[in-house]
Homo-oligomer: A and B are copies of this chain.
């Protein structure tokens, strides 16, 4: 008996379907701006929230009762979990998945045992990918849950722990390559600090720069073609995480000469925790040339922590996807649901409801973004607003052909004030709402 025995494969049934377990908008073969919807969205489901998290939070224990949580040896349970995971991914009809090394295989009592456990499960995953057609959007290593990493992994005060991290990332990169993974992600949950009093901040940044350089070197050595992605987050669990936001990561990459090697995986909830909108982070990464992939979810605007809820607001999601389209798309990246059902959503079916809702919202949002592009009025309004910069005289300034003194003297020569023009924000917001209706 399977855990999802009573769930039928999820199908597109159109907007009028009353079936809770069907897609109303995610029609994967529908052509959007010349490309299949599935190929735009490149959805992935994650292992951790769906198959590892027990419902535990800082004030309470497990609420989910999954067959793979107990009743066997760790490796037996890991296989049971893989069975359930791939049954879920397949029935959901999602093309990609993502995992941390420790999500799929148990930590052993020694480094070699951990490595061995992981390699054996990677083989299992490979077979399941074969059997189901599932693909790996990205792999990653969990360098934040084990107590040895409590003070950081690459930024640990002890270089021996830095080495432990090197082992896990080396093996996770090997596994990602082997499984045909299209990207590799680093999220530095403990790469930060709790107190400056016990922290050499500058040195820890250098440690991180060195570690990332080693990772990039190793990627090239083994011929991994996918992108290396850093996932920014401002804080939590650490008081301060070094990869605070996209702009911070950009500066870090420039400092260590890695800006052409590494991109960002932007999570919506991490964006809002850092004081930015999701679309801001996407637009910034696009402008800086480091837009890699997205972790789709939402936070709660009244809560100060990472709630990782499924996206459920079409207008907001449409704005984000519009920025993705304007930036030229995600390349090898995709839309990974780093989202979890609520702790009270304890039924197997709830895992489906969360993802169906999220996928439908993204599909609707993509169709809205398509309308924005096709309509063209948003772009026209911007072009009109910046027209002065598109003239030869404007370009000369941007291209460094004019000096401060020249421009200043030009103003004095004319000796007239310049009147501002309306930003017309409300008109544009109304226009966006037209596309959402």
A386 to chain B: closest residue by CB: B157
Asked whether any CB of chain B lies closer than 8 Å to the CB of A131, the reply is no
Given contacts A58-B57, A201-B287, A304-B303, contact A426 B341 (CB under 8 A): yes
Distance to closest chain B CB from A34 (angstroms): 24
For window 297-323 of chain A, which residues contact chain B by CB distance below 8 Å?
A: 300-306, 310, 312-316, 319, 323
Question: Within the assembled complex, what's the spacing in Å between the Cα atoms of A163 and B20?
Answer: 34
Expressed in whole angstroms, the minimum distance between the Cβ of A156 and any Cβ of chain B is 8
Chain B's closest residue to A414 (CB) is: B111
Would you call A428 an interface residue if the criterion is a C-beta within 8 Å of the partner chain's C-beta atoms? Answer: yes
User: Is B251 in contact with A247, judged by CB distance below 8 angstroms?
Assistant: yes
- Mark the stretch among A4-12, A71-79, A230-238 that contacts chain B: A230-238
Interface members, chain A 178-194 (any B CB < 8 Å): 189-190, 194
- Copies of the chain in the assembly: 4
**Cβ contact within 8 Å between A425 and B198:** yes
Q: Within 8 Å CB of A240, what residues of B? A: 276, 280, 302
Interface residues of A in 148-206 (CB under 8 A from B): 148-151, 157-164, 166-167, 169-171, 189-190, 194-203, 205-206
Best-surrounded residue of A217, A303, A323, A381 (most CB of chain B within 10 A): A303
B59 touches A196 (CB 8 A): no
State whether the Cβ of A244 lies closer than 8 Å to any Cβ in chain B.
yes
Task: Give 6 closest A-B pairs by Cβ, nearest first.
Answer: A304-B304, A251-B251, A202-B287, A344-B423, A166-B407, A254-B254
